[in-house]
Amino acid sequence: MNGFAKCMDSIINCFECFAKFLGHFLIAFVFFAISFLYTSGTFFIFPFMIKNSVILILTRLALLFFTVNLVYNYILCLITCPGFSKPISKQEESRNEVSQHDIEAGELLFLESRNIFNDRNPQIEDSFLPEEYFKGDDKNNLFIDQGKNYMTNCSKCNAIKHPRTHHCSICNKCILNMDHHCPWIGQCVGLYNRKYFILFLAWSFLSCLLISIFSIPMIIILLSSLSGINYYSDASLYDNVTFQGLLLSSVLSVSFSLGTGTLLFFHIYLLVTNQSTIEYHQNLFFRKSLNGGEALINRFDKGLSNNIREIMGTSKFPLLLFPCFY
């Protein structure tokens, strides 16, 4: 039995090392894909499909605007700490700085209202966490006894397990409000970088969608040429390397539009319902185990506006699309 456990540990360690290595490769691939699609869209697809010079300039400017915001939010995804729970010894020292009365009164909703969510590299302190990190009924993380809160510690990293905190085996840390570990950014999506991840998906989708609008006709041209229908009198055009490259860019842009769009709308649903990806799958399991007449209540759901504000820092649209302004 001990030999089997050691074997499984070795396999898990190898997988975690591979996941870390894969993260660096995927990050490089994202930057390459952004550069490739922007270049092909700006200098090849748009000029090929758009004959009006004014529309061409406006389309190029729109793609540039989308791409700048895409890169900006992606970089913030990479450099922003998702939020780690500290080891118990340090947490207890920090916890003593806040009175039990303040905790029970629920006065610690945010540090200076919302600044805690806008700090790109926050110093995570127990006293600076939103109220739900102190209160709750998650029996795996928090126990309430006569008005006093007792939190369990993680068996793997010895950090306090606040409600909605999960241990990531790849990062080897407990992540506050963990959504999932994303290999495309090389770290977890958590409390402090989740809004940048959602915006990264949003601007990625808009960029790919804009290119796809002009790419789909090119794909139709390709399929028609395979059927013997040529839209252009010059048959050599279909053998041109540039045209084949345009078709490759078109297929990639449409594929990325479908992929990023699916992820974006899924995470928008999680955002407005105040769920993480982990909680979504847990809730699916709990719903299946409930009887027909029972309803599953999400205790973290504070209403549409508050749910959006908790993650994004603001619920005002379109301001929430530009985190540099709030």
Annotated catalytic sites, by residue? 182
3-state SS string for the chain: CHHHHHHHHHHHHHHHHHHHHHHHHHHHHHHHHHHHHHHHHHHHHHHHHCCCHHHHHHHHHHHHHHHHHHHHHHHHHHHCCCCECCEHHHHHHHHCCCCHHHHHHCCCCCCCCCHHHHCCCCCCCHHHCCHHHCCCCCCCCEEEECCEEEECECCCCCEECCCCCEEECCCCEEECCCCEEECCCCEEECCCCHHHHHHHHHHHHHHHHHHHHHHHHHHHHHHHHHCCCCCCCCHHHHHCHHHHHHHHHHHHHHHHHHHHHHHHHHHHHHHHHCCCHHHHHHHHHHHHHCCCCCCCCCCCCCCHHHHHHHHHCCCCCCHHHCHHHC
